[in-house]
Amino acid sequence: MEKAKYIDHTNLKATATYDDILALCNEANKYHFASVCVNPSNVSLAHRLLSGTDVLTCTVVGFPLGATPSDVKAYETTKAIADGADEIDMVINIGMAKAHNWDYVYEDIKAVVEAANGVLVKVIIECCYLTDEEKVEACKAAVKAHADYVKTSTGFGTSGATVADVELMVRTVGDAALVKAAGGIRDKATFEAMIKAGASRIGCSCGAKIMEEYANE
């Protein structure tokens, strides 16, 4: 796969302005990234700016803490898709995962998958807060709920993606889902390490910088 198509070009900052989203979309179109990932209030803008390009619009649900009630996550999903979102990155209920209430975690993911109605769903398990055993169970819940991807991190936790976590997630989901690495991926070396570990998508805000590193080789 072309390197650029691994990248979800991301700006989820609270301070993101119209000009920031315009710049994000222009960069994504220039490099033909897989998607831009923006906050829900910017979905319609990004969708409009990317009209006629090969770049998808991705947004987040229950972000960044995951503690939103499941029915609200489902509504967020429905609203985002109506606004033009092509992909949904949802955060699991991390507290319920820490309490090992895996039925709740599964039902929470399932609510979003069902609301997405065929639109691609990535499930953020926020690895920095989970033990390896909890990461495995969270991935199993996502697979059981028929999510398309499991994702390492929001980028707002205590740490981001690690090679070890990506490898663990890949082993756990097998052929049933794909893995997205996100959080702290700021250069070509880290980008390549995540792909080598098995990530099929990379979420980062430094996509343009990484592509420039390739161009300057």
Catalytic positions: 89, 151, 180
Q: What whole-number distance in Å separates Cα of residue 187 and Cα of residue 197? A: 16
90, 53 contact by CB (below 8 A): no
Q: Is 41 helix (H, G, I), strand (E, B) or coil?
A: helix
62, 76 Cβ separation under 8 angstroms: yes
Q: 9: part of which helix (H) or strand (E)?
A: strand 7-11
Contact status, residue 55 vs residue 46, Cβ threshold 8 Å: no
Q: What are phi and psi of 7, to 5 degrees?
A: -95, 125
Nearest in space to 156 (alpha carbons), one of 55, 60, 68: 60
Helices (H), 84-162: 94-98, 102-116, 132-144
Contacts with 198 (C-beta within 8 Å, 6 or more apart), sequence order: 166, 167, 169, 170, 179
Chain-centre distance for alpha carbon 110: 17
Cis preceding linkage at 69, omega within 30: no
